[in-house]
Amino acid sequence: MVKQSLRDMKKEETWHVLARTSFELALEKGLDGFTIEDVVQRARYSRRTFANHFSCKEEAVSMGILSLSGASGDLHREDILREVESAPHESPVEALRQWMKMKFTANLLRELRELVVLSKAYPTLEPYVLNVLHRLQAAAQTELDRLCGGRCPQGYTHILAGAVFGAVMSILDGDIDVQIPGEAPREGAGTMAFDDFLEMTFGYLKKGF
């Protein structure tokens, strides 16, 4: 692993602060309720610094999710690798299940859902939300490719990651009533806990539909 320089670390920290600040302002005021100037004033950076990192307000708002994802995911990445690599014959489906449980924390799920809701109210945000989801899916596929070490047929990990992220998207869109950890209990016979939904999804992938 290449060690980051102090300059790179500072640049990454600035990116995170601007992204999180933009996302928080969007939740507080709506996408039309704040400007880039509001972001840089709260984050204590310049507009030029913002422009060095993001092309527009929508991109910064959506990247706030990846900021959270990176912070939470990196803490557990070595644990995931040790667990999966200690079982060399672990199936790709099980490896992805472990990755999802580690990566998709309650905070990430909740804020992803909030971002999707925002994008429905502000259509200019939609392509940036899709980019975030694509990047998360690509990260899952990359990890699968690395862990599987060429044991899978071409295209297998892409299809597997796509199927799981399609299921997660149905939660974020509200198509399936799933309660995210930490949310207040909701009434309704059809409500399912996220962990149960994840186990059901991977159960189908292991045993068939």
Tokens in use for 66?
């990846």
Q: Is the dihedral of CA 90, 96, 99, 101 positive or negative?
A: negative
Task: Supply the pTM of this predicted model.
Answer: 0.81
Distance CA 114, CA 77 (A): 25
Tokens in use for 8?
């790179």
Tokens in use for 197?
């939904």
Residue 188's region, left for phi above 0, alpha for psi from -120 to 50, else beta, is left
**Own/partner pairs, 41-47, CB within 8 angstroms, 24+ separation:** 43/17, 43/18, 45/14, 45/17, 45/18
Is residue 65 within 8 A of residue 44, CB to CB? The reply is: no
DSSP notation for 105-171: -HHHHHHHHHHHHHHHH-GGGHHHHHHHHHHHHHHHHHHHHHHHTT-SPTTHHHHHHHHHHHHHHHH
pLDDT of 35: 97
Give the tens place of pLDDT for each residue, 78-125: 554 555 455 445 688 888 888 888 888 888 888 999 999 999 999 999
pLDDT of 74: 43
pLDDT, tens digit only, all 209 positions of the chain? 456 688 888 899 999 999 999 999 999 999 999 999 999 999 999 999 999 999 999 999 999 988 765 543 443 445 545 554 554 456 888 888 888 888 888 888 889 999 999 999 999 999 999 999 999 899 888 888 887 777 788 888 899 999 999 998 988 888 888 888 777 766 666 788 888 898 999 999 888 77
pLDDT of 148: 77
User: Phi first, then psi: what are they for 192, rounded to 5°?
Assistant: -125, 140
